[in-house]
Amino acid sequence: MKLIISVLITISSFSIFAQNTEKLALTPPMGWNSWNTFQTNVSEDLVKGVVDAFIRDGLKDAGYNYIVLDDGWMAMERDAQGNLVPDPKKFPSGLKTLSDYIHSKGLKFGIYNCAGNKTCGGYPGSRGHEYQDALMYASWGVDYLKYDWCNTDKINPIGAYTTMSEAIKATKRPMIFSLCEWGNSEPWKWAKEVGQLWRSTGDIYPCFDCEFKHDNWSAWGIMKIANMRQDNRRGAGPGHWNDPDMLEVGNGMSISEDRAHFALWCMMAAPLIMGNDVRKASKETISLLTNKNLIAVDQDSLGMQGFRYSCKDSMEIWARPLANFEWAVCFINTSSKAQKLSFNWQTEEIIDNVFKYNINAKINTYKIKDLLKNTFILSTDKPLETTIPSHDVLIVRLSKK
């Protein structure tokens, strides 16, 4: 009898924990990560400055809460007990103190490591130290782990990521687990039980549509990334998300291109992890990153990833079903010149063949809100006619009248 009771208690505490980890990311995680701007040049001062900017510029109020240290936070060697050691020059007060500071401002602390023997930057990886590292993170109050895929020889990704996921669960500290194996082994088919988000593509690069070649790999512009995986929508939903990589908003593209990038990431239900130097961001950049209408699309409770409905004459049309039978629709002008748009809702029915939703403007009249201008424009009774500047977007929300 005693045995049965203790088995039942164990099972129920595991299932409560499983429910809690599901609840960690009912909508796509939002935050900031050091990599895109700072690579391995991270420090305590940088993180504190970022925390301050989160509060000062309304990023926290807009929903951004995770502050994630990417590669480069460690010393080059583990200590004599095999523990990871934060680089003492970069983090003189240690990571627990930094984590306490982040938490004291109502924010959450994330960290990076890798499934291989070394991280992509050559720092100690977690292979063979998974449980030890997870316990260390828990003792520092870590809330989010990004887990990379360099120097993994030929190990099995499902096994490697499951081991780390189990190690996190064993600490009993809720931590978001962000898988970063670039979509190589199609994690949208298996990682739902393992973590809350997984990279679906290679690394992003701050350009509209370029391929940036490194020695033996490429980084990709925003349109390349958005169009790279058209087949993974079924994998996304509340608690588990496809991650087309961190944002490059504010990192050198034009403001039109930044708008297109941010709008597309919201259409894709992407995690919104800023990658710019938020301490020095322009007003224009902050105002885009905190746009309530766009964030509401990204964070929509239905959690359905949008899809490319059409691509004709350098105009891409993306659509995303939202809760309460609303829709977001995004028109992107990918050409180098301004283009006229004429879209007749009466003759073009947008159908989501995967989730079986449709915009039927013959039966329903939808009002249309321009999400960037924050104004209502006509309704679906009339064709939508406008001009979209080069590399810019019109993103609208449709709701039934």
Instruction: Out of 25, 28, 35, 53, name the contact with ligand GLA by CB under 6 A.
Output: 35
CB of 185 to ligand GLA, least distance (A): 15
Across 239-363, where does the E strand assignment appear?
A: 241-243, 272-274, 307-312, 315-321, 327-333, 339-343, 350-352, 357-359
Residue type, 207: C
- Helix 95-104 to helix 130-140 angle, to the nearest 10 degrees? 50
Of 57, 70, 133, 203, the active-site residue reads 203
Would you count residue 71 as binding ligand GLA (CB under 6 A)? yes
Residue of 133, 148, 243, 298 marked active site: 148
**78, 66 contact by CB (below 8 A):** no
Residue 116: Cβ within 10 Å count: 18
Cross-strand pairs, 241:
197
Strand 366-370 relative to strand 176-179, pairing: unpaired
The verdict on 70 binding ligand GLA (CB under 6 A) reads yes
> Which residue type does 115 have?
A
Q: Round to whole Å and give the CA distance between 348 and 380.
A: 11
Q: Pick between residue 183 and residue 250 the one whose CB is nearest to ligand GLA.
A: 183
Q: Is 148 in the site for ligand GLA (CB under 6 A)?
A: yes
By beta-carbon proximity to ligand GLA, the closer residue of 119 and 334 is 119
Residue closer to ligand GLA (CB basis): 118 or 367: 118
- The reply to whether 181 sits near ligand GLA by the rule CB under 6 A is no
The C-alpha angle with vertex 321 and arms to 210 and 336, in degrees rounded to 5, equals 25
Nearer to ligand GLA, 119 or 196 (CB): 119
Known catalytic residue at 148: yes
Output 180 or 247, the one with its CB closest to ligand GLA.
Answer: 180
Q: Which is nearer to ligand GLA, 69 or 388 (CB)?
A: 69
List the one residue out of 239, 243, 251, 252 whose CA is nearest residue 225: 243
What gap in Å lies between CA 300 and CA 116, rounded to an integer?
Answer: 35
Least distance in angstroms from the C-beta of 181 to ligand GLA:
9
Binding ligand GLA (rule: CB under 6 A), the pick from 180, 281, 319, 368 is: 180
Q: How far is the CB of 245 from ligand GLA (least distance, A)?
A: 7
Among 203, 257, 258, 298, binds ligand GLA (CB under 6 A): 203
Tell whether residue 145 is a contact of ligand GLA (CB under 6 A).
no
3-class state of residue 128 by DSSP: coil
> Which residues have C-beta within 8 Å of that of residue 298, sequence separation ≥ 6?
27, 28, 30, 265, 266, 269, 270, 272
DSSP 313: T
Task: Give the x-and-dash track for 303-332 against ligand GLA (CB under 6 A).
Answer: ------------------------------
Nearer to ligand GLA, 121 or 237 (CB): 121
The DSSP bridge pattern shows strands 315-321 and 307-312 to be: antiparallel
Nearest approach, Cβ of 35 to ligand GLA (angstroms)?
A: 5
Q: Is 203 a catalytic residue?
A: yes
Least separation, in Å, of the C-beta of 350 and ligand GLA?
33
Interface residues for ligand GLA in 83-142 (CB under 6 A)?
119-121
Using CB under 6 A, count the residues that bind ligand GLA: 9
Dihedral (C-alpha) 247, 155, 145, 229: value to the nearest 10 degrees? Answer: 30
Closest separation in Å from C-beta 112 to ligand GLA:
6
Contacts of 252 (CB under 8 A, 6+ apart): 206
- For the bound state, the minimum distance from the C-beta of residue 391 to ligand GLA, rounded and expressed in Å, comes to 24
Counting Cβ atoms within 10 Å, is residue 82 exposed (0-12), middle (13-18) or buried (19+)?
exposed
In whole angstroms, how close is the CB of 107 to ligand GLA at the nearest point?
Answer: 20
- Residue 116 or 306: the one with the smaller Cβ distance to ligand GLA is 116
* Closest residue to bound ligand GLA by CB: 120
List binders of ligand GLA among 237-296 (CB under 6 A): none
> What are the residues binding ligand GLA (CB under 6 A)?
35, 70-71, 119-121, 148, 180, 203
Which residues are designated catalytic?
148, 203
